[in-house]
A and B are shown apart, each in its own frame.
Chain A
């Protein structure tokens, strides 16, 4: 049983008040910091840094409250150190994620809203928290990736480029004219406004294959239009070649059987 007469209710009340005020001050400072930081860095980074500031203030407030309640913070910190080590061993990955999160804020390879590929996961960045990064993948689901994994992974950020290159490899029959095919493809590319004129398209014979001549088509397009232009142009090029009688062959293998069987 706790002897209620030994409790210093004034201190408890003060501690509660300090906790309450501390909580509101932490929130306020965090918001002010977020607004100030947002002017100097991307929104996502500002939000995350302000969260860290919030947690630091909450931690300091908790130490202060414990002191008011008569607990010796130094011994608590020592004890906390021992407990912390135990917890630390148990939560290495969490700490690793947190530290990676801080490094991500410093490195800033992406921002909220960017289209990215992180270690094979592609999508739009929804949020970057101190522990994880959330992506909405192209087919809908939200993917949560721990920050330690994000930091170690190869990150491709599609939003940091204004233009992207599209490349196709087309195969045409040896019976068809490559000059004609190249000319038709160039004309089709010239009709599309979103195929950039500078750097201009490049269409050339790239390989003499077993059953077809390979033509490589390269062109640049505004990054936001890349997917639409890539799919549209392939369809249009195919239709143009088909209409002009340029044949696109199936893989073919000629096997000749000989009637003569040599003796043993």
Chain B
């Protein structure tokens, strides 16, 4: 399976959707007669689109923010580090521009970041650092996860321990090709005034294409402040 757009004329008139894992890959099919649509998929501009999306709005739209938790990373004073975090994603099925279905790979849970009045509801995302021993990202992706390149820079004179980052998905683009999905590069600056998260509007991975703005907000503010600290 891959992500992309397909001609609706290649699909049967009546079909149902199913998603299953086959040999470690995700197989998405639509067809009461077990028609595997994926066999007919062609990379052409058409009506049906199967797209990766940020794991944010299942089961209902509650928040645009997610708090990605990952194993503790220590950044010395003045230090910088690039880590690759693997996150679950969701798949959105669109037909003629209308969302037909979402498929999630993670049990959602939410928490409150900040005070009750003025704080932010965030979806909890359990991330896994997948940087290899040479500091590179993983070579294979499975269509269930995306990889977030996170560049952390410590501008302070203190050592910081980081195990979470706040992301606003409305500012973040996804890039994909086949089963490979990645977020745009994210930069996390630790300064004396606070923690700032910036969206760099570029991909770390060659050959991935930017997802169209249908499920992402076009407006880009490029910055999220972690107002209530780490």
A-to-B contact residues, CB < 8 Å:
160-164, 193-194, 196-199, 220, 222, 224-225
Contacts and interface: CB of A to CB of B under 8 A. Distances in A.
Q: Is the interface of B mostly helix, strand, loop or mixed?
A: loop
B126 to A, nearest CB: 11
A198 B111 contact: yes
Interface stretch (B116-124, B152-160, B215-223): B116-124
B112 A163 contact: yes
Contacts of A194: 62, 110
Contacts of A225: 62
A160 B124 CA distance: 22
B108 interface: yes
B107 A198 contact: no
26 contacts: A160-B117, A161-B117, A162-B116, A162-B117, A162-B118, A162-B120, A162-B121, A163-B116, A164-B116, A193-B107, A193-B108, A193-B109, A194-B62, A194-B110, A196-B110, A196-B121, A197-B110, A198-B112, A198-B113, A198-B124, A220-B112, A222-B62, A222-B63, A222-B110, A224-B62, A225-B62
Contacts of A198: 111-113, 124
Contacts of A224: 62
B77 interface: no
A186 to B, nearest CB: 14
Interface in B95-133: 107-113, 116-121, 124
Contact of A199 (B62, B109, B112): B112
A60 B63 CA distance: 49
Interface in B33-76: 59, 62-63
Contacts of A164: 116
A264 B47 CA distance: 99
A197 B109 CA distance: 7
Contacts of A193: 59, 107-110
B121 A197 contact: no
A162 B121 CA distance: 7
Contacts of B109: 193, 197
Nearest to B114: A162
Nearest to A225: B62
A225 B108 CA distance: 15
A196 B117 contact: no
B119 A162 contact: yes
B63 to A, nearest CB: 8
B219 to A, nearest CB: 17
Nearest to A224: B62
A224 B110 CA distance: 13
Given A162-B112, A222-B62, A225-B62, A197 B124 contact: yes
A201 to B, nearest CB: 12
Contacts of B111: 196-199
Contacts of A199: 111-112
B103 to A, nearest CB: 16
Given A162-B120, A163-B121, A196 B112 contact: yes
